[in-house]
Structure 1
Amino acid sequence: MTHADATCSVETLVSRLADALAAAHGQDADVVIVGVQRRGVDIARRLMGLLEGRMASTPRFGSLDINFYRDDWTTIQGKPVIGSSSIPGSLDGALVILVDDVLFSGRTVRAALEALHDYGRPRAVRLAVLVDRAGHRDLPIQADYVGMTVKTDRSQHVDVLLRERDGEDAVRIA
């Protein structure tokens, strides 16, 4: 089923994130927006477009594949899709805004934090997610910026569909 709140379109959620990021970091120098492969990258690209002209300096953009950093690497059935990372230079001293589609257990974010440190030591990392599945953390990780929080059972699944990848924008809970 599709999330019932029609006022929470994906476009609205991304806009909320952009507003919060511009308000909190609009005057910061050396900001790097890094999307977690795959849908986090698409969301991060949208954020870059919305942040243009709203920040003191244009953020750098990067993408991060975390598959080799996952703690369940050996238990994944089938072959995981390995993407590429593209980080624009060193992250030393930068403010990194890590972007993902859904925050659930926190394990993807843990892997992303580990992967980021291969590119330098940021002065800070902030987490922006389109959807936060509150209450299901396995690790003490929380998002700094959230488009929407949903209450779900642990057995449910939240899918974020994006027009760039899926041909439509939707948040679906199954």
Structure 2
Amino acid sequence: MTSHPSGTAGARALSLDAEALYRELLAGVRNLRRQDTLLAGIASGGAWLAERLQRDLGLAGEAGVLSSSMHRDDFAQRGLAASAQTTLPFEVNGADILLLDDVLYTGRTVRAVLNELYDYGRPARVRLAVLVDRGGRELPVQADYAAARIALPATQALALARSPDGAFDFELREVAPC
């Protein structure tokens, strides 16, 4: 699925149904995973996806959560984020891990999370599935599965939001150019 921002009179509107894309992601993950595949989500949106996928796929145990905070290349500017800390309730060594994220953009968060994951051991294989690939890569990182591919200007940020009842939606906001 590919979407592009559209609108009139210079205004840009983005219409993405997060719940519909989640169903696409669920189908994609079903096809990607093997019997021994473990799920780990990138805090926070990816962790929400991994948690819900774990339940919807009927998998035992809990999905892992990976934080990018300690390995970011912009740590000096950002410091420690208030996001979740890494929790891996499974053995990483030799594991087949499916990493989940809400939005893939530059690839820098995925790079940081891979460094974090390797602090816990050496997996046999790591694959990446994302809800949305928005392009704009700065590193050679590619998702094995993306429920949607869209084009957004660098002045917009897209993130997954979760309501108190667990339903997914997207937040689109303007950001200052780098």
TM-score, structure 1 as length reference: 0.82
Mapping of residues 7-156 of structure 1, within 5 Å: 8-25=16-33, 28-52=34-58, 58=60, 61-76=63-78, 80-134=81-135, 136-156=136-156
Residue segments in structure 2 that go unaligned for 5+ positions in a row? 1-11, 174-178
Match of 2:4 in 1: none
Amino acid paired to 1:161: A
Quickly say closer, same or farther: Cα 1:16–1:105, change in 2 above 3 A.
Answer: same
**8 Å Cα contact 2:42-2:113 kept in structure 1:** yes
Partner SS, residue 91 of structure 1: coil
Measured on the aligned residues, the alpha-carbon RMSD in Å equals 2.3
Between Structure 1 and Structure 2, the one with more helix by share is 1
Name the CA distance, whole Å, in 2 between partners of 1:85 and 1:112.
Answer: 9
- Give percent identity, aligned residues only: 34
**8 Å Cα contact 1:33-1:99 kept in structure 2:** yes
Of 3, 10, 14, which residue of structure 1 is paired with 2:14?
3
Moved over 3 A (4+): 57-60
Name the CA distance, whole Å, in 2 between partners of 1:9 and 1:139.
Answer: 28
Partner SS, residue 63 of structure 2: strand
**8 Å Cα contact 1:3-1:171 kept in structure 2:** no
Name the CA distance, whole Å, in 2 between partners of 1:100 and 1:29.
Answer: 21
Amino acid paired to 1:171: F
Quickly say closer, same or farther: Cα 1:101–1:2, change in 2 above 3 A.
Answer: farther
Partner SS, residue 170 of structure 1: strand
The one-character-per-residue Cα deviations of 1:20-47 (angstroms, maximum 9, x if unpaired) are 111232xx23211001111211111111
**8 Å Cα contact 1:15-1:50 kept in structure 2:** no
Match of 2:163 in 1: 163
TM-score, structure 2 as length reference: 0.81
Name the CA distance, whole Å, in 1 between partners of 2:103 and 2:164.
Answer: 17
Name the CA distance, whole Å, in 1 between partners of 2:138 and 2:50.
Answer: 25
**8 Å Cα contact 1:105-1:139 kept in structure 2:** yes
Aligned length: 162
> Deviation of residue 2 (structure 1)?
5.8
The one-character-per-residue Cα deviations of 1:59-101 (angstroms, maximum 9, x if unpaired) are 751111120111100012x763153211023211111111111
